[in-house]
Amino acid sequence: MKYVIATAIVLLSAVVVMVLGPRWAHAQTSTRNAMLPCGDTKELMKVLSEKYGESPIGIGINTQGEMTTLFVSKAGTYTFVISSPNGQSCVASGGTDWETSAMKSGGRDS
């Protein structure tokens, strides 16, 4: 009886992965387009500056070749923005209570 139950669980799990797996993968790849606020990079920067008092404090290039920028205000609000070379940017994350801490030297490289 244990063998039958175990086999049923494995088969059910396989069916769930086959049916939902592609949907999960699609959701992850299309999240930026479907769920994140996106728009013209200059306009987004203007809103972050004028409405939230945020200015860029760090940038980097992600693995897709897009620029990732961290905007922070003196009040502690922050926004992570991903910008494409085509002049479009999307808000990846944001929040309140940002604190900047000094990085210790001698740590491991990431």
Of the pLDDT bands very low, low, confident and very high (cuts 50, 70, 90), residue 70 is: very high
The mean pLDDT value for 21-33 works out to 40
pTM: 0.61
Q: pLDDT value at position 24?
A: 36
109 vs 4, more confident: 109
97: left (phi over 0), alpha (psi -120 to 50) or beta: left
Residue 93 banded pLDDT, cuts 50, 70, 90: very high
Cα of first residue to Cα of last residue in the chain, in angstroms, is: 50
Q: How confident is the model at residue 59 (pLDDT cuts 50, 70, 90)?
A: very high
Q: What pLDDT is attached to residue 35?
A: 56
Distances (CA, A) of 74 to 19, 35, 43, 68, 97: 47, 28, 21, 20, 10
pLDDT (average), residues 35-61: 91
Sheet of 67-72: strand order equals 38-40, 88-95, 78-83, 67-72, 55-61
Whether the predicted pLDDT of 92 surpasses 70: yes
pLDDT, residue 107, reads 55
